[in-house]
Structure 1
Amino acid sequence: MNGPVHARIFKLMIVLAAVFGVMEARLAWVQLGGGGRSENAVAGLSKQAYLQHSDPLELDSGRGQFVDRDGLPLTGKTIRALAAYPTGGMPRGSDRLLQKLADTLGESVEQVGAWLDAIREPLVWKKGKTGTVVALTEAQEKQIGGLGLTGVAVVPYVERYGAEAGGGLALHAIGYTAQDPARLTKLYGKELASGKAKTADQIGEAGLELSLNRLIRGIGSTYAVATTDGARRPLAGIGMRISGPANPHYPLQVRTTIDADVQRAAEAAMKKHGIKEGAVVVLDADRADILCMVSLPAFDPAHIGIAGTDARNHALIAVPPGSVFKTVTLAAALEAGVTTLDETFRCTGTYGRYGLNCWLHGGHGVLTVKEAFAESCNVVFAALAERLDPALLAETADKLGLGRQIGWQIGSFVDGKPLRLLEEEQPGAIFATPVAGKDGGVRTGTGIGQRDVRVTPLQAANLVVTLLHGGRVQSPRIATEIRYADGGLLASMPARGAPSEFGSIKPATAAALREAMRAVVTEGTAEQALGSNEWPLAGKSGTAELAGKRPAMNDQWFVGYGPAKGRPRYAVAVLLENRTAGVRNAAPAVFGDIMDALRRLERTDPVPPARS
């Protein structure tokens, strides 16, 4: 549904939806507590109804919700929650009933009583350091409903994030909302002026909440309204009512490419190995769909800024790739015809210039380029880098999707505006300046993935997909469609390529790189970690030295694919950040655990047509 015509239709539907919501809204007068509502009670309000005070409690913001690729919710689970509102001094009930309420909640009567006494506006019952809304069981709801307490009710509350919403999965990919009056004013000043928006409204600040904010804002919140008199005393027989838009098209639903099972498996693998900082990206090898995006440290979208958490998505942050970048150096050398996989070199452990040494003390001895890739020999790749024109090295990186943003984007979406799904994606870099690569020391350091090279885990995983597609760069997407609440399609995000302005590497070069990546597992640095997994695997390890860190720290990498024989299904990038220098690279082991989990989770989807 792209193009100017559909854009106008979309805008018209938004206007009609708002009008429809105002003119046709049905206020669902649902009795939730404080006695039964009678027709006489409503009819008898007469003129006094205009003088009554209403205290609203937001139950649902009306924002669109996110589901995984199979339709499982990632946000927006409706729970039953305990709500209470001020009573203007009226007693809520006897001590015996308050004790029963406390017993039902599993709390002391003193704690529950203090909470009720302190209420000055409608609130829901929360627990824990971060104030998590408590989900009531069906039995608890029934017991509380039978107590007949004044100003107490059980309401349907939409928990947007966390375990109650969708298992707390892919939180960095989904992102979060926050109150941001300055940004809200900048983007929606006219709506604020007209009263259609409030400065207290939530706005997308990160992830898909940010990139899709303008589309999923919704047409209004749903509230529980406590109806009171001028002294804020509950009106007899009215209790709480639910008020909100009655438009069948809203809220919208965004179908993401995230696979909840794959996400859980990757998160479990990182936890198993005690990883505190890093990222994992799992891409579908055929379409470059993002099946999983892990970022650590974790965070709570409902409580940003808690110590020890990090809302930044490390999968989209560019960092030094270390020897993973040797894939680019080898591609450039093969494309330029300055080497072959069979050319031999002698590694003595030192390059002799620029203070560059091999990681293996004493060197690897005589080895071929293919063996040098498998063993991640710095000396051989420094020599190859010196043979290359720096512009060619940078262009080859671009051909492989590095040094630029490659996430799914389009110039005109359904609303006629540009859309980039991964707004926080960093482009990375190859050289700090266009002329930096002319320096031999800079070029050799770049050739082994140090100096100014920066790559995101998303780019690293997509580089592998590019090789599996014979050199054609795909554009990773994290969402496939947006639908109305009644199931109608609003917009789709079809798979797209992300071609380089410099063209593509040759299919033969891509094949040679895949062969070299397989050697990493069969005879190289990952043989011990990945030699006995359920699938035959292929990939490239990397260790990036972090300048200025004391004590010395490294980032550890492994990127690869599986199965390496037959039809590859998945491309995976694992980044472990701020690891103590000298410790074993744990990234291959994490990669192997994820691949084993993927093997066990093999889907029964029809196999797409073979790639050419």
Structure 2
Amino acid sequence: MNHLEQKRLVFLFFVFFICFLGLVWHLFLIQCRDGDLYACLALEQGSQCVALENTPRGRILDRNRLPLTGERTEERVVLFPAAVPDKKKTGSELAGILGLEQENLAAFLSGEPCLLPYGITPGQSRDIREKGWPGVMVLPVQFRYGEQQLAAQVIGHLGKISAPGEFKDLSAKNNKVYHYGDLVGKTGLEMYYEGALKGSLPSRAVRVYTDAAGRLLGGPGFIIEEKTGDNTRRDLILTIDARIQKIVEEIMDRSVPRGAVVILEAGSGDILAMASRPCYHPARPEDYLGAAGENYFLDRCTALFQPGSVFKLVIAAAALEEGTVSLESPFYCHGAGETLLRCWKKEGHGTLTFAQAFAQSCNPVFVRTGLQLGPQRVIDYGGRFGLNNQSILGYPAPGDPRQDLHLIEAPYNLVNSCIGQGPVLVTPIQIASMINTVVSDGLYRQPRLVQEICKSNGTTVNIIPNDPGQRVISPDTAEKLGLLLEMVTEEGTGQGALVPVYGSAGKTGTAQPGDDNSIVNAWFAGYAPRVNPRYVAAILIEGSDSGSVTAAPVFREIMEGILKLD
């Protein structure tokens, strides 16, 4: 063997030796360092799992981080069919306890591990546990929606992915893993923030370990897995205050069969409550589909309505800011004898000042004032108060294209527009923001609904700041408008909205949405307390009496309730 061949043998020896050391080191890592991990993976290959959360999603919380969905925990029957030795006998006895036909359980006992979709009583829970059937257990399950949920139309609801196009769109848009049958957002915040809310892992799950034949392994039989590290789901922190929202909804359930209520934080424009009636339950949306004559899913807080005399605030603001009137400017009302537009008071108001005309909601005075201003100024000031802007910070709901202030300049539209009829359409949130502009000394602020997006551990991901505001009228004009609004509740049409002790201010409105004069929508929009206001509210009651008769007392009751919280 020559020298060259010896060098080759030595080189090959070292190559094989290094490879051998690498193999030994790898075996060491598998056996010693990662032994527990691989043991768990091996067990999981022979295991079955059922989520104990009906849908893995981030929470929707109020400004104090309280859940708005009314999330609840209920005991449910969990089935692992492969581990049930005598399916026929077990199914018969289980059906008897649950009060079901055996056929109702047959598909579940022959399928994949699952939760039974039936609620159970404490007695049924006890009876099932006492049976001790393999593969059948009773465990607490977390459900997203409960009976105490709030702001249903705002939060929205979930539904299963039902079409290939929907599956494709969700997967492409949100960069998340979806499966047919997954629960996804269909309306409201659940839909708008689907990409942020959807998680990949349930917060809790039950896992059982089986052998190759599907029999349960020895030991405890199952484990409960707590999974707190799902970084794919996000929580939404809203500006809503659950306490205020609850008060509003309870009063609406008694007094507002159809309508909307919006409460803003005075100054900031943050939405503290927004509620619509009639309402639906997000856990059972199918119960409300096709209901005759009602749209339970409509968010009336963001829907368009004629504002009636509430719009006179825009006319007053324009006239005072432009100097075409003063608070003491004299007018005369002939009542039913007016040529352009009759007054609601048939005998007429007689001689009165502009301020008195506002307090008494005198139609002829505001028609004359609006005609003197001209359509362009009315359109301009309506826009200044945000009545052409349906946007809400953090709530990307699409706007309704029917809202177009420029229709005011069409022939014969200005007269009706001056009293909030004809082509003038607004949302309750826009009306609340208009009142907030007066409270804010003439600064218009866009309303905000979502203030923060954060991880499940509370770490902030994104902050949605509130609007710093834009000056649209002078502080002097805003002060005069405040005096007018105070006159309405103290001596005018809105005396039913006067809040004892605290005081209040606002404007009534009554709109006729159709040709039937007997059907009207009632409004009251205002703020409380009168001095240093804390809350702004817009009340709409559909198919009601006048705003002074119905909406004003609802405003007073709501304000009395929420002012006690401070």
Q: Same fold (TM over 0.5)?
A: yes
Q: Which of 35, 55, 68 is 1:74 aligned to?
A: 68
3-state SS of paired residue (1:200): coil
SS at match of 2:442: coil
The worse-fitting range, judged by mean Cα deviation, of 239-248 and 249-258 is: 239-248
Partner of 1:521: 489
Q: Cα–Cα, structure 1 residues 406 and 542, in superposed 2: closer, same or farther, change >3 Å?
A: same
Secondary structure, counterpart of 1:74 in structure 2:
coil
- More contact order relative to length (CA 8 Å, sep ≥ 6): 1
Instruction: Tell me the residue number matched to 1:443.
Output: 414
Q: Deviations over 1:123-164 (max 9, x none)?
A: 54556xxxxx56x76x9767754441233223342211232x
Is 1:407–1:422's contact at 8 Å kept on the other side of the alignment?
yes
Match of 2:508 among 528, 537, 541: 541
Summarize deviations over 1:520-546 as a string: whole Å, max 9, x none.
00000121x134524201000101101
Q: Deviations over 1:367-400 (max 9, x none)?
A: 1111111111111111111111211111101111
Whole-angstrom CA distance in 2 between matches of 1:162 and 1:484 = 23
CA contact (8 A) 2:70 2:150 kept: no
What per-residue deviation string (whole Å, max 9, x for no partner) do you get for residues 306-344 of structure 1? 135611211011111111100011111112211111111
Alpha-carbon offset, residue 71 of structure 1: 1.7
Shift of 1:452: 0.8
Whole-Å separation in 1 of the counterparts to 2:359 and 2:382: 20
Distance 2:227 2:508 in 1: 53
- AA aligned to 1:585 is V
Question: Distance in 2 between the 1:170 and 1:280 partners?
Answer: 11
Distance 2:391 2:309 in 1: 21
CA distances 1:62-116 after superposition (whole Å, capped 9, x unpaired): 21111111121123735142123363674369899958x97xxxxx654376654
1:152-207 alpha-carbon deviations (Å, 9 max, x no partner):
223342211232xxx11112221222234433422423889xx9322433332322
User: Structure 1 counterpart of 2:332, which letter?
Assistant: R
- Matched with 2:7 is none
Distance 2:488 2:134 in 1: 70
**Cα distance, 1:582 vs structure 2:** 6.8
1:168 maps to amino acid: Q
Pairs within 5 Å for 1:551-570: 552-565=518-531, 567-570=532-535
> CA 1:559–1:230 in 2, change beyond 3 Å: closer, same or farther?
farther
Find 1:111's aligned residue among 91, 96, 100: 100
- 2-structure distance, mates of 1:144, 1:250: 36
CA distance in 1: counterparts of 2:423 and 2:313, whole angstroms: 16
Give distance in 1, aligned partners of 2:130 and 2:274.
Answer: 45
Q: Secondary structure at the match of 2:352?
A: strand
CA distance in 1, matches of 2:491, 2:548: 18
Alignment map for 1:228-377 (pairs within 5 Å) = 235=216, 237=218, 247=229, 249=231, 251-273=233-255, 275-305=256-286, 306=288, 307=291, 310-350=296-336, 352-354=338-340, 356-377=341-362
CA contact (8 A) 1:62 1:250 kept: no
1:324–1:234 CA distance, 2 compared to 1 (3 A) = farther
Equivalent residue of 2:432, what SS?
A: helix
SS in 2 for 1:460: helix
Which amino acid is the alignment partner of residue 353 of structure 2? T
325-334 or 474-483: bigger deviation:
474-483
Q: Residue 428 of structure 2 aligns with which residue?
A: 457
Greater CA deviation, 375-384 or 78-87? 78-87
Structure 2 stretches lacking a partner, 5+ long: 1-33
1:383 aligned onto 2:368: yes
Alignment RMSD: 3.5
Equivalent position to 1:91, from 86, 101, 111: 86
Structure 1 252/493 Cα, relative in aligned 2: closer, same or farther at 3 Å?
same
Partner of 1:59: 53
Alpha-carbon distance between aligned partners in 2 of 1:597 and 1:425, rounded to the nearest angstrom: 32
TM-score, scaled to structure 2:
0.81
Relative distance call for 1:563 and 1:426 in structure 2 (3 A) is farther
Letter in 1 for 2:298: R
Match of 1:161 among 126, 131, 145: 145
Q: Percent identity?
A: 29
Amino acid at match of 1:363: G
Residue pairs, 1:171-250, within 5 angstroms: 171-180=152-161, 181=163, 182-189=165-172, 196-221=177-202, 224=206, 235=216, 237=218, 247=229, 249=231
What is the CA distance between 1:360 and its match in structure 2? 1.4
Q: Which amino acid in the other structure matches residue 371 of structure 1?
A: Q
Unaligned runs of 5+ in 1: 1-23, 28-38, 103-107, 128-132, 409-419, 603-612
Residues 336-372 of structure 1, C-alpha deviations (whole Å, 9 max, x = no match): 2111111111111147445x22111221111111111
Question: Does the residue aligned with 1:601 lie in a helix, a strand or coil?
Answer: coil
Alignment check: 8 A CA contact 2:262 2:273 kept: yes
Is 1:576 aligned to 2:541, yes or no?
yes
2:133 alignment partner, SS class: coil
Q: Is the 8 A contact 1:480 1:493 kept in 2?
A: yes
Q: Secondary structure at the match of 1:451?
A: coil
Report the equivalent of 1:469: 440
Measure, in 2, the Cα distance between the counterparts of 1:244 and 1:260.
28
Q: Which residue of 1 aligns with 2:456?
A: 485
Instruction: Tell me how far apart the structure 2 counterparts of residues 505 and 247 of structure 1 sit (CA, whole Å).
Output: 50
One-letter identity of the residue aligned with 1:297: P
Higher Cα Rg: structure 1 or 2? 2
Tell me, yes or no, if the aligned pair for 1:546 and 1:552 is still in contact at 8 Å.
no
**Which is richer in helix?**
2
| One-letter identity of the residue aligned with 1:189 | A
Q: Do the aligned partners of residues 277 and 347 (structure 1) sit closer, same or farther apart at CA in structure 2, a change above 3 Å counting?
A: same
